[in-house]
A = this chain, B = another copy of it.
Amino acid sequence: MLRTAFGLSDSKNDYLPGISVDCVILGFFEGSLRVLLNKYDSYDKWLLPGGLVFRDESIEDAVDRHLKSRTGLRDIYTKQFYTFGAHDRINVEEQKSIINQYNLPEGSDWFINRFVGIGYYALVEYSKVQIYSENEGETVSWHTINNLPALYADHKHIIQKALDDIYYQIGFVPIGYELLPDKFTMPELRQVYESFLGKELDRRNFQRKMLSIGLFEKLNETRKVGAHKAPNLYSFNKERYTEALNQGLQLIDWKFS
């Protein structure tokens, strides 16, 4: 039963042994960066989505497969950021206690074996995600990055590593394009950058800098959001965006102002 819970089929020989992919699925909603986690009613900690890799499947395909099963989305922007291979990353005692507690069948000792976890982060448009729970007794939900619940094994560390990776490469990662909907405002885009940089940015200088890179198109629409002037809506110029990415250009040569 927990075998299913942890995303494993019964025929474990179809999988690469000792290897899993761990997905940090990031979305942005109501001013906060969020990560998709799942939890099994029978276990008290949350887990990152992910799982095993078929023998005849590339790692990337395994990632796409797991993402599809959790979010319903295809063609998600993903990036491998780190592989976790500490020999003590899984707490053997905890694994044994899970085996006892849930009365796993004989032959579950593979479960306490060491796993190497290949970490990918995924950037998704929050509103497009259809949360799927594959099984009964399973909950999948978004959690704000700044208020995470208790997580299984080293999954908290994995999330932090993903955020670090984006922090250091922020000029090369299309966080705006991938996280925001087609139409968005500059304040929203700014909030995305502020979330990853962990600091406030000057509203006016931010706008100037973003517009100067020529990837945005101002729409003749505004969005009413409060007791103040309605901000303009913008859209991404997708052609230029992918062109810039493929050429490996810096989207922004950020100096952390």
Contact = CB atoms under 8 A, between A and B. Distances in A.
B255 A116 contact: no
Interface stretch (A26-34, A56-64, A150-158, A204-212): A56-64
B83 A58 contact: no
Contacts of A114: 16, 55
A186 B205 CA distance: 36
Interface string A67-104: 00000000000001011011110000000000000000
B87 A56 contact: yes
A92 to B, nearest CB: 11
> Which of A58, A87, A168, A255 is packed against the most chain B CB atoms within 10 Å?
A87
A253 interface: yes
Interface string A167-191: 0110010000000000000000000
A59 B117 CA distance: 11
Interface residues of A, number: 26
Contact of A59 (B16, B116, B255): B116
B80 A58 contact: no
A231 interface: no
Nearest to A88: B58
Interface in A1-47: 16-19
Nearest to A171: B168
Interface of A: 16-19, 53, 55-60, 80, 82-83, 85-88, 114, 116, 118, 168-169, 172, 253, 255
Given A16-B116, A19-B116, A58-B85, 14 more contacts: A16-B114, A55-B114, A57-B87, A58-B86, A58-B88, A59-B85, A60-B86, A80-B82, A83-B83, A83-B118, A116-B116, A168-B169, A168-B172, A253-B255
A-B pairs, 8 with minimum CB distance: A59-B85, A83-B83, A58-B87, A17-B17, A58-B86, A83-B118, A16-B18, A253-B255
